[in-house]
Structure 1
Amino acid sequence: MSIFSLVILVTALLFLYFVIRGINKNKILFDQAAMWLVLGILMVICALFPSIPGWFSRILGFQLTSNFVLFLAVILLMVLLFFQTIQISKQKEAIKDLIQEVSMVKKDIREDGDKRD
């Protein structure tokens, strides 16, 4: 095992440790942390078997493994951004519904208070 693979392995294990610690301390929801766990496991696998990324890069036609890894990182970030955009849109809609509901409850409370006076 080369020093580079060892550094990647230690980094991946630290990454997994912090993700699992975040889940245990309820700082990260498991739904969102699942992708990070998969990414950490893939990092460990690539550190233990460094020929796997090279094999995939050759199959897909990349001349350099680093180009393949960079391509995967960009795709992963784009997918992450897309899913977070969907989540933000749902949250905005839920916030709008909550604001409308709270406004109606406040109006009912004011009307009840005016009737009692």
Structure 2
Amino acid sequence: MIFVITAMTVLFIAAVVLMLLRRQLQEKYAVLWIVVGVAMLVLEVSPPLLGWLASVAGVQVPSNLLFFLGITLLLGVSLHLSWELSRAEDEIRRVAEEVTLLRAEMERITPDVAPTDADDV
């Protein structure tokens, strides 16, 4: 069973690297997922390490610590993506307003030029 989990983790890291090389994933996100993948590999190769971390954290069952860390990571990623989405929406709104103002200015300067279909996009 450990071989299957380790193979899946290696495939996960390879997929992240491939997405990074194809420019489908930004570096700032790739680093996070590679760190998560490497941490998964370390915990898979050395199961006593999770037990030691659980005892240090005061958690009686090591799998509970693993679930807690996973949920914390997912909440952090969700919060970060929400923040990025908010910034992107603000930027899109700002650019749309600038385009509208520029289009109005262009129509004011050259009122005799009819807009083409490409301008409606």
Per the TM superposition, whether the score is higher than 0.5 is yes
Q: Which letter does structure 2 place at the counterpart of 1:110? A: E
SS of alignment partner, residue 62 of structure 1 = coil
Alignment gaps of 5+ in structure 1: none
Q: Which residue of 1 aligns with 2:117?
A: none
- Residues 90-105 of structure 1 correspond to what in structure 2 (within 5 A)? 90-105=87-102
Report how many aligned residue pairs link the two structures.
113
Q: Distance in 1 between matches of 2:63 and 2:43?
A: 13
TM-score of the superposed pair, with normalisation by structure 1: 0.90
Q: Distance in 1 between matches of 2:5 and 2:48?
A: 14
8 Å CA contact retained: 1:8, 1:43? no
Deviates more, 1:107-116 or 1:9-18: 107-116
Alignment gaps of 5+ in structure 2: 114-121
Large movers: runs of 4+ above 3 Å: none
Q: CA RMSD in A?
A: 1.4
SS of alignment partner, residue 109 of structure 2 = helix
8 Å CA contact retained: 1:6, 1:47? no
Q: Distance in 1 between matches of 2:105 and 2:85?
A: 30
One of 45, 58, 75 as aligned partner of 2:55: 58
SS of alignment partner, residue 40 of structure 2 = helix
Using CA pairs under 8 Å that are at least 6 residues apart, name the structure with larger relative contact order, 1 or 2.
1
1:66-95 CA-partner distances (Å, limit 9, x unpaired)? 111110111001110111111011101101
Q: Distance in 2 between matches of 1:11 and 1:79?
A: 23
